[in-house]
Amino acid sequence: MSDDFESPALPEATQQTQATPQFRNLLISPPSLASDEAQLLSILSSFPVRPDLQMLDRLSMNIVQLPQDHYDNIILATNDESTLAQLVAVLPRLLSALKPGRSIHVPAGPRGSLKSDGIIAGFAVNQGDDGTILTRPEQSETIVPLRLKRKSVNSDKVKKLKATLAANPNAPKVDESTLLQGEDYVRPIIQPPECAPSAGKRRKACKDCTCGLKEMEEDEIRAMNARQQKVTLGSDELAEVDFTAMGSKNPVSSCGSCYLGDAFRCSGCPYLGMPAFKPGEKVQLSQNFGDDL
């Protein structure tokens, strides 16, 4: 390139744009500052480029939606107790509105729980005498390979075992099914000392008995029920039943109505329970009558 060549002069506005990068700033004003127009205009005029202006109460009520990853700086105009409480409520939304690595500038005032709330919201907090700066951290993803240490299979014990098997391949092998007998599979019942019956008193089995006492009681109950089974008479045994066998002792009737039936007999009648009969008659039951017993 020759020395006679001169680059064209750029307009002054273009030179200023190239020299000073344009930042996107957001000014958050509390409602109390909106009524003081002179102070609000003074704050806005202190910026080289007029920032966006949003009211803090409208942000806290979710009336205004902020763009994602849009602002380089967010500035809080004033700081008092009511402003701090509203700012804490919108910190998560301001975090997403900031670009990674950019900050929120809060002027000095009552600090309260701004530091802890800022950390909880995801900011890196730098608190000083002139104010607090909440910075959105820059996140980056890095792939790290995991090198797992594998356990060596060829240990000394395995090598010795392989050498032993290789030296005597015809050694007899033991059948593992013959190592345990039938009684080895039966789990012995161990009676706890507290379940042992005391002298002169029999202990009852618990609801969740595992010592075998419950099974012993059930066996005894079954044996007792078997002994108490009723005896059934055969057909030949019911062919002839003499209900007047007591008559051989010549029972004497004081009322003279015993032969009429139980309806005419007293509670001490010797013929009570017998069917009606004729005086002096021997009562016999037929074979068919035994089916009703």
**Per the domain annotation, does 7 fall within a domain?**
no
Which of 14-23, 148-157, 174-183, 206-215 bottoms out in mean pLDDT, i.e. has the lowest?
14-23
Final residue of a structural domain among 135, 152, 186: 135
Task: Give me 163's structure tokens.
Answer: 């050498």
The string over 91-114, giving b where at least 16 C-beta atoms fall within 10 Å of a residue's C-beta and e elsewhere, is bebbbebbbeebbbebeebeeeeb
User: What's residue 98's pLDDT?
Assistant: 92
User: What's residue 135's pLDDT?
Assistant: 92
How many domains are there within the chain? 2
**Per the domain annotation, does 201 fall within a domain?**
no
Q: If we measure between CA atoms, which residue out of 105, 106, 136 comes closest to residue 123?
A: 136
Number of Cβ within 10 Å of residue 116's Cβ equals: 11
Query: Which residue in the block uniquely carries the two structure tokens 């709330």?
Result: 117
Ramachandran area for residue 230 (φ above 0: left; ψ -120 to 50: alpha; else beta): beta
**Per the domain annotation, does 214 fall within a domain?**
no
> Which position has the higher pLDDT, 147 or 6?
147
The Cα–Cα gap between 54 and 34 comes to 10
User: What's residue 234's pLDDT?
Assistant: 60
The Cα–Cα gap between 15 and 212 comes to 101
User: What's residue 250's pLDDT?
Assistant: 47
pLDDT band at 253 (very low <50, low <70, confident <90, very high): low
Amino acid at 29: S
Is residue 141's pLDDT more than 70? yes
- Shared domain check, 128 and 242: no
- Shared domain check, 17 and 131: yes
Is residue 139's pLDDT more than 50? yes
- Shared domain check, 241 and 130: no
- Specify whether the CB–CB gap between 206 and 195 falls below 8 A: yes
Give residue-wise pLDDT tens across range 60-97: 888 888 999 889 999 888 877 778 888 888 999 999 99
- Show the CA angle centred on residue 71, arms to residues 100 and 17, nearest 5°: 110
Q: What residues contact residue 67 under an 8 Å CB cut-off, 6+ apart?
A: 97
**Per the domain annotation, does 130 fall within a domain?**
yes
- Specify whether the CB–CB gap between 87 and 118 falls below 8 A: no
- Shared domain check, 129 and 243: no
Binding residues for [2Fe-2S] cluster are: 195, 206, 209, 211
Final residue of a structural domain among 110, 135, 160: 135
**Per the domain annotation, does 205 fall within a domain?**
no
Give residue-wise pLDDT tens across range 6-54: 434 444 444 444 445 578 899 888 888 877 778 888 888 888 888 888 8
Give residue-wise pLDDT tens across range 212-226: 778 888 888 888 888
Final residue of a structural domain among 103, 135, 167: 135
> Which position has the higher pLDDT, 169 or 50?
50
**Per the domain annotation, does 251 fall within a domain?**
yes
Q: What percent of the chain has pLDDT over 70?
A: 72
> 258, exposed or middle or buried, with CB in 10 Å at 0-12, 13-18, 19+?
buried
We report the CATH number of the domain holding residue 40 as 3.40.50.150
Binding residues for [4Fe-4S] cluster are: 255, 258, 266, 269
Round the average pLDDT of the chain to a whole number and report it.
75
The Cα–Cα gap between 284 and 259 comes to 14
User: What's residue 145's pLDDT?
Assistant: 84
Binding residues are: 195, 206, 209, 211, 255, 258, 266, 269
pLDDT band at 205 (very low <50, low <70, confident <90, very high): confident
| pTM of model > 0.75 | no
Which of 20-29, 74-83, 126-135, 234-243 bottoms out in mean pLDDT, i.e. has the lowest?
234-243
**Per the domain annotation, does 274 fall within a domain?**
yes
**Per the domain annotation, does 127 fall within a domain?**
yes
Residue 104 is part of which domain span?
12-135
Is residue 231's pLDDT more than 60? no
Mean per-residue pLDDT for 185-201?
68
